[in-house]
């Protein structure tokens, strides 16, 4: 029974728990056993909260026994990216500078997960401060892709995606600043959705680039992702950038999409992203998926979004600029590491030694890059110009959405690459997010759904929708899933 | 021509409060040069009369009712501090001590 439970979708598990055919404790034990069996190879988790998970599961079982009405995901285990504050449970952001930190409060999303009766299994590995596309920049060692353990699981949320693909958890939470939910989803054959910016609360999310950071759901099926989206999304008075509007009905949209009927849906292929930028195997899987979407009744056209080609350089000015400001809070005073405080050194010396010891190379690069882009004399040419390009990218999206309901592209230019292949040249790493970044600059929602294999490795298709029209992307993704099915990695 | 010199990187590290090593300076200078040359592409876009976007959500001045709600205790707030004293964060010395007492 144990191994069966880990192979089920969240929807199936929730139904079994609700019907009393299994207990939340049994489900949780099955996943903890699976983690114990395979995570030494995968390294998806930085911390497994065995006691907390079992206590949460027992509470769900007790509430059910008492006749309490439980939510649609009650009793379902979830893995949480280590970027979200979890009360009393270690939160490192993949960095040595926060090693051992136990937050005194829960992020809003974590609180909503608890309120919904989901069971948090633990915290997943990530590139340090969510800066990276491979999870290799974690200070605690890389995560391995369950499809091929010698390859990367994507990043920054590689731990969450790998936990799903390795059947260690049926649901996971990620955060997407430039593709950190969607790109790991694509390269692990799982579903990853970036909600509309402001659609999910950032309260308790360790900040990297505040105008871009968006937490969101990860799952093995589109419907499961939608159910998780519904639980975590919605206005939060504690986040002043949170949108005070109702959450689009993403669950209904996923169910509608699963009927396989896309009659009347207009889709635009982003011309700039189907040229020579993507690997042939990725393009082949994408083209086949476009045929499938067309067969289901979608009207598919090509749409040029010329400024999307400048999204990557604009992003690598805007995100590091915001990061250089946000990470100033790591000063060795209020939380985390302090190095070199021998009673003689000044505050400034201790601060510099602490940050030098606590941050890894990619974080240092981005802090310095952002400091440069914001310096007087360079501001107009770099940060200021990047913000203008951001306006033009938004205009390209707006114009496209006058002609089509959603845009589509491959999620990533290439499939999972070997661990170590791109770390020597940071800019080569940045290219992994070439197709996902425009959405973040615009602020709209995007989802990656598995669409095929290339040489045995998963390929993802990305659906991008207008802001607060997250339901549209779930409909298209669920339709594609109904046509191509889900993909199972080789047994570990 | 290099977009950024080793000396400029050393200056950035000081501004960023990063006590980087000489070896790191060599590595970062080369890497930041590659990155800066690539991101400089934004300059190719004609955008002189385009307004900048700092944020995608058009919300300003978000207010809430001034209601007292529970907050962290001093003990909780100081629980992650590297050093604390008398319910305060303890910091290394801020002033130099060459003032005659």
Chain A contact present for B58, CB below 8 A: no
**Cβ neighbour number for residue B38 with a 10 Å cutoff:** 17
pLDDT recorded at residue B66 = 92
Neighbours of B65 (CB within 10 A): 5
A286 close to A267: Cβ distance less than 8 angstroms: no
Query: Residue A14's closest CA among A24, A25, A1, A26?
Result: A24
Which sign, positive or negative, has the C-alpha torsion B49, B52, B58, B61? Answer: negative
* Candidates B11, B17, B27, B74, partner chain A, best to mutate (most A CBs within 10 A): B17
Cβ separation A334–B81 shorter than 8 A: yes
Q: Which of B52, B55, B92 sits opposite A341 (nearest CB)?
A: B92
pLDDT number for residue B97: 59
> What's the pLDDT band for A253 if we cut at 50, 70, 90?
very high
B36, B52, B83 ranked by CB distance to A384: nearest: B52
Q: How far is A113 from chain B (nearest CA, A)?
A: 21
pLDDT tens digits for range A124-172: 999 999 999 999 999 999 999 999 999 999 999 999 999 999 999 999 9
CB contact under 8 Å between B45 and A365, yes or no, is: no
| Count of A-B CB contacts under 8 Å | 177
pLDDT in tens, A168-214: 999 999 999 999 999 999 999 999 999 999 999 999 999 999 999 99
> Could you report the predicted ipTM of this complex, rounded to two decimals?
0.93
Q: Which of B34, B42, B62 sits opposite A310 (nearest CB)?
A: B42
pLDDT tens across A220-230, in order? 999 999 999 99
How many CA atoms lie within 13 Å of A116's alpha carbon, on the beta-carbon side? 22
Residue A3 confidence (pLDDT) above 80? no
pLDDT score at B14: 97
Residues of A in contact with B8 (CB under 8 A): 372
CB atoms within 10 A of CB A301: 11
Q: Is B95 exposed, middle or buried (0-12, 13-18, 19+ CB in 10 A)?
A: exposed
Write down the mean pLDDT value for chain B: 90
pLDDT digits 0-9 by tens, A43-62: 999 999 999 999 999 999 99
pLDDT at B99 over 60: no
Contact criterion met (CB below 8 Å) for A384 and A374 = no
Contact at 8 Å (CB) between A477 and A257?
Answer: yes
Whole-number Å distance between alpha carbons of A109 and A231: 9
User: Could you tell me the CA-to-CA distances from A72 to A10, A75, A222, A427, B8 in Å, in that order?
Assistant: 9, 9, 15, 43, 56
Coil vs helix vs strand at A135: coil
| Domains defined for chain B, CATH in brackets | 6-44 (1.10.20)
Rounded distance, CA A4 to CA A451, Å?
A: 25
And the tokens for A278? Answer: 């993507």
Give the closest residue to A352 by CA, choosing from B22, B24, B16: B16
B2–chain A Cβ distance below 8 A for any pair: no
State the DSSP string of A65-93: HTT----TTTT-EEEEETTB-BTTB---T
Per-residue pLDDT for A21 more than 90? yes
Q: What is the mean pLDDT of residues A383-407?
A: 98
- pLDDT on residue B101: 44
| pLDDT on residue B93 | 86
The Cα of B101 is separated from the nearest Cα of chain A by a number of Å equal to 18
H or E element in which residue A232 lies: helix A222-232
Q: Which residue has the higher pLDDT, B100 or A306?
A: A306
Ramachandran category for residue A141: left, alpha or beta (phi over 0 → left; psi -120 to 50 → alpha): left
The mean of the pLDDT values for chain A is 97
Supply the DSSP symbol for A236. Answer: -
pLDDT at position A189 = 98
For B44, the closest chain A residue by CA position comes to A310
Q: Which long-range contacts (CB under 8 A, 24 or more apart) does B56-65 make?
A: B56/A197, B56/A198, B56/A211, B56/A394, B56/A441, B56/A442, B56/A443, B56/A467, B57/A197, B57/A198, B57/A241, B57/A243, B57/A443, B59/A198, B59/A240, B59/A241, B59/A243, B62/A240, B64/A237
Closest CA to A486 of A242, A225, A202, A229: A225
Q: Give the span between the Cα atoms of A331 and A97, in whole angstroms.
A: 10
Q: Is the peptide bond prior to A312 cis by the omega test (within 30 degrees of 0)?
A: no
Instruction: Report the percent of chain A where pLDDT is more than 70.
Output: 99
Q: How confident is the model at residue A478 (pLDDT cuts 50, 70, 90)?
A: very high
pTM score, whole prediction = 0.97
Q: Is the Cβ–Cβ distance between B79 and A104 less than 8 Å?
A: yes
> Can you tell me the distance from the alpha carbon of A199 to that of B100, in angstroms, rounded to the nearest whole number?
58
Cα separation, A407 vs A411, in Å, equals: 12
Distance from CA of A198 to the nearest CA of B (A): 7
Q: What is the CA radius of gyration of chain B?
A: 23
pLDDT digits (tens, 9 = 90+) for A278-288: 999 999 999 99
**A42 with A169: CB under 8 angstroms?**
no
Whether the predicted pLDDT of A2 surpasses 50: no
- Which pLDDT score, from 0 to 100, does residue B1 have? 64
The length of chain A is 492
Nearest by Cα to A404 from A270, A285, A277, A291: A270
* Cβ–Cβ gap B38/A313 under 8 Å: yes
DSSP H or E segment with residue A478:
helix A470-484
Residue A154, pLDDT score: 98
B42, B45, B46, B49 alpha-carbon torsion, rounded to 10°: -50
The β-bridge partners of B19 are none
Say yes or no for a CB contact (<8 Å) between A385 and B42: yes
Closest-CA residue of chain A to B88: A334
Asked whether the beta carbons of residue B4 and residue A467 sit closer than 8 angstroms, the reply is: no
Quote the pLDDT of residue A1.
Answer: 45
Give the mean pLDDT of A321-332: 97
H or E, element range at A173: strand A171-176
Tokens 């205009």 identify what position? Answer: A395
Are the C-beta atoms of residues A95 and A327 closer than 8 Å to each other?
no
First CA to last CA across chain B, in angstroms? Answer: 54
Q: Does B85 touch chain A (CB under 8 A)?
A: no
Residue with tokens 């499961």: A224
Would you call B60 an interface residue with chain A, using a CB distance cutoff of 8 Å? no
Q: What is the CA radius of gyration of chain A?
A: 21
Q: H helices then E strands: how many in chain B?
A: 3, 2
- Residue B100 reports pLDDT greater than 60: no
Instruction: Indicate the helix (H) or strand (E) that contains A16.
Output: helix A10-18
> Would you state the pLDDT for residue B60?
83
Among chain B residues, the shortest Cα distance to A313 is held by B39
| Active-site residue set of A | 81, 156, 180
| CATH-assigned architecture of domain A2-260 | Alpha-Beta Complex (3.90)
Please give the pLDDT value at position A275. 82
Answer whether residue A416 shows pLDDT above 50.
yes
């Amino acid at each position: 029974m144990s191994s069966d439970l880990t192979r089920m979708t969240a929807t199936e598990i929730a139904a079994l728990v609700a019907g009393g055919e299994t207990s939340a404790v049994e489900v949780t034990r099955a996943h903890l056993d699976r983690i114990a069996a395979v995570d030494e190879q995968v390294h998806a988790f930085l911390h497994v909260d065995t006691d907390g998970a079992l206590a949460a599961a027992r509470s769900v079982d007790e509430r059910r026994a008492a006749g309490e009405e439980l939510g649609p995901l009650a009793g379902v285990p979830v893995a949480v990216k280590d970027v979200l504050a979890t009360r009393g449970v270690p939160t490192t952001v993949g960095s040595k500078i926060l090693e051992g930190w136990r937050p005194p409060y829960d992020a809003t999303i974590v609180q909503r997960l608890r309120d919904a009766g989901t069971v948090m299994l633990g915290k997943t590995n990530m590139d340090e401060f969510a800066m990276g596309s491979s999870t290799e920049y974690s200070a605690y060692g890389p995560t391995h892709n369950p499809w091929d353990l010698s390859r990367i699981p994507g990043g920054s949320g590689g731990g969450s995606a790998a936990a799903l693909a390795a059947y260690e958890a049926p649901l996971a939470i990620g955060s997407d600043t430039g593709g950190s939910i969607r790109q790991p989803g694509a390269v692990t054959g799982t579903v990853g959705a970036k909600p509309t910016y402001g659609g999910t609360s950032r309260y308790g999310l360790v900040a990297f680039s505040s105008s871009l950071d968006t937490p969101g759901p990860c799952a093995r099926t589109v419907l499961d992702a939608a159910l998780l989206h519904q639980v975590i999304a919605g206005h939060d008075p504690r986040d002043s950038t949170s949108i005070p509007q109702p959450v689009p009905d993403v669950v209904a949209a996923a169910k509608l999409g699963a009927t396989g009927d896309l009659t009347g849906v207009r889709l635009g292929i982003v011309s700039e992203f189907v040229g020579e930028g993507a690997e042939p195997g990725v393009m082949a899987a994408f083209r086949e998926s476009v045929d499938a979407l067309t067969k289901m009744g979608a009207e598919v056209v090509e749409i040029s979004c010329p400024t999307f080609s400048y999204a990557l350089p604009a992003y690598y000015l805007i995100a590091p600029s915001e990061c250089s400001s946000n990470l100033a809070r790591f000063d060795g005073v209020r939380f985390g590491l302090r190095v070199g405080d021998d009673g003689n050194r000044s505050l400034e010396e201790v601060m510099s030694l602490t940050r030098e010891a606590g941050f890894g190379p990619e974080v240092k690069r981005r802090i310095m890059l952002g400091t440069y882009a914001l310096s007087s004399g360079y501001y107009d040419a770099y940060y200021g110009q990047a913000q203008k390009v951001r306006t033009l990218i938004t205009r390209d999206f707006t114009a496209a959405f006058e002609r089509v309901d959603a845009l589509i592209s491959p999620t990533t230019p290439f499939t999972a690459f070997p661990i170590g292949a791109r770390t020597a040249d940071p800019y080569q790493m940045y290219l992994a997010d070439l197709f996902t970044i425009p959405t973040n600059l615009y602020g709209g929602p995007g989802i990656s759904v598995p669409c095929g294999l290339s040489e045995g490795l998963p390929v993802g298709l990305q659906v991008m929708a207008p802001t607060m029209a997250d339901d549209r992307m779930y409909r298209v993704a669920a339709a594609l899933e109904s046509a191509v099915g889900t993909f199972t990695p080789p047994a570990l | 021509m290099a977009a950024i010199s080793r000396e400029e990187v050393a200056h950035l590290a000081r501004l960023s409060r990063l006590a980087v090593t000489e070896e790191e300076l060599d590595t970062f200078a080369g890497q930041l040069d590659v990155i800066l040359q690539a991101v400089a592409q934004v300059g190719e876009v004609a955008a002189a009369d385009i307004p900048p976007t700092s944020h995608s959500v058009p919300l300003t001045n978000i207010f809430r009712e001034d209601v007292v709600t529970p907050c962290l205790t001093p003990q909780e707030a100081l629980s992650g501090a590297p050093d604390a004293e008398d319910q305060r964060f303890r910091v290394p010395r801020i002033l130099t001590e060459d003032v005659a007492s």
